[in-house]
């Protein structure tokens, strides 16, 4: 069994790697779309919304309900892509860490 100092050093290393991975998530961008690209939402893998782009043809009072639905769908698409990018980045980070089976990061 490893001594306590080695275990503490490993824990600090894991914590530093986790913080670095979390910081990197805000630099990864994904784009969600709906309506065949008429509504686009850009977000970071951390879930921060960066931009929303709406086709001008949807900016009519008669299109209000459809526009609301498309914006919600684009947000959901961006969120799903952000979650996938986040999961991929975190799995890269945890690949070199000896974790028990079924144990996932972040804590």
Cβ-contact 89, 45 below 8 angstroms: yes
How much is the pLDDT for 43? 92
How much is the pLDDT for 9? 81
Dihedral of alpha carbons 107, 15, 8, 1, sign: positive
Cβ-contact 3, 87 below 8 angstroms: no
How much is the pLDDT for 98? 60
How much is the pLDDT for 107? 44
Task: Domains for the chain: give ranges and CATH numbers.
Answer: 4-94 (3.30.1310.10)
How much is the pLDDT for 78? 93
Tens of pLDDT, residue by residue over 1-37, are 467 787 788 778 878 878 887 888 888 899 999 999 9
How much is the pLDDT for 7? 78
Instruction: Detail the DSSP E strand segments found in the chain.
Output: 29-34, 39-44, 49-54
Beta strands 49-54 and 39-44, pairing class:
antiparallel
Tens of pLDDT, residue by residue over 64-88, are 999 999 999 999 999 999 989 888 8
Q: Which two tokens stand for residue 40?
A: 């686009």
């Amino acid at each position: 069994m490893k001594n306590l100092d080695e275990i503490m050093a490993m824990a600090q290393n894991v914590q530093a790697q986790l913080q670095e991975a979390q910081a990197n998530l805000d630099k990864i961008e994904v784009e969600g779309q709906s309506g065949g690209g008429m509504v686009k939402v850009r977000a970071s893998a951390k879930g921060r919304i960066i931009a929303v782009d709406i086709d001008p043809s949807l900016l009519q009072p008669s299109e209000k309900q459809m526009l609301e639905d498309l914006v919600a769908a684009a947000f959901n698409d961006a969120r799903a892509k952000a979650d996938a990018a986040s999961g991929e980045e975190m799995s890269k980070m945890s690949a070199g860490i000896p974790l028990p089976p079924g144990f996932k990061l972040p804590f």
